[in-house]
Amino acid sequence: MLLKKRWLFTGGIFLLAAAAILLFYPYRYVLAMQDPFTDEILAYFPIKDTDHFQIKFTHSVHLSDVIEEYEINHEMIYPYQLVYEDTAIGMPSNAGEGETFEMKDGKYYISDLQGSFSEINLAVGQVRANHTIIYQNQSYLLKDYVGEGTSITITPTHESNWHLLKGVNIHER
C-alpha cells in the first residue's frame, strides 16, 4: 500500500513537471508581431528555420505594390528579394554590391540582398498601405490582427505556450 502511494505521488510530480515544461519552457519557434514598448505578443504564427515570408504593402507615393521577401534562420531575418514597380521616390534604382537587379514583366527585382537583422519595426498603415504578411501562400492583412496605426516589431523567437496565450495564432485563424 505504501509503495502504491509513493508511486502515485511520484507519478503526480512527474505529470506536474511535464505540464510545467509544456506550459513555461520556450520551445515554440514563432514569427511574433509584438508591441515594441511592452514586448506583448499581439499575433504570431509557427515557423521553422529557412522558412520564407513576405511583407506586401502599397507604396504611399506610387500607390503600387511592394513585396519584401525574407528568410528566417537561427532567430535572424535575412532579406531575400525586393519586388516593386517604380524606381522613383523611396525605391532603389539599382542593386547594391553583391546584389542582382533585373526587370521582368514590368517589375523591378533586387535579389541576393545582403545583411541580416533580429527584428523588423513596422507601423501598420491606416489609410492605403494594407500591410500584409504572406506566409506559406496565405495572406494575412496585419490591421485585422494588430489594428490600424499600430507599431509592431516582427521577430523570430522561441516562446513558451504561456507567453503565447494572449496572442492570436494567425495561421490557425
What value does the mean pLDDT of the chain take? 90
pLDDT tens column, 117-145:
999 999 999 888 999 999 999 999 999 99
Residue 17 belongs to some domain of the structure:
no
The total of structural domains in the chain comes to: 1
Residue 10 belongs to some domain of the structure:
no
Answer whether 101's CB lies under 8 Å from 73's CB. no
Residue 125 belongs to some domain of the structure:
yes
Least confident of 17-21, 37-41, 96-100, 153-157: 17-21
The three cell numbers locating residue 128: 492605403
Residue 15 belongs to some domain of the structure:
no
Residue 11 belongs to some domain of the structure:
no
Residue 68 belongs to some domain of the structure:
yes
Q: What are the residues facing 110 on neighbouring strands?
A: 82, 101
Q: How far apart are CA 26 and CA 41, in angstroms?
A: 14
Domain that holds residue 159: 26-172
Residue 48 belongs to some domain of the structure:
yes
Residue 19 belongs to some domain of the structure:
no
Q: How confident is the model at residue 173 (pLDDT cuts 50, 70, 90)?
A: low
Listed in sequence order, the residues at least 6 apart from 96 whose beta carbon sits closer than 8 Å to its beta carbon are 113, 114
- The proportion of the chain whose per-residue pLDDT surpasses 90, expressed as a percent, equals 64
Instruction: Look at residue 146 and give its three-state secondary structure.
Output: helix
pLDDT tens column, 73-95:
999 999 999 999 988 787 888 89
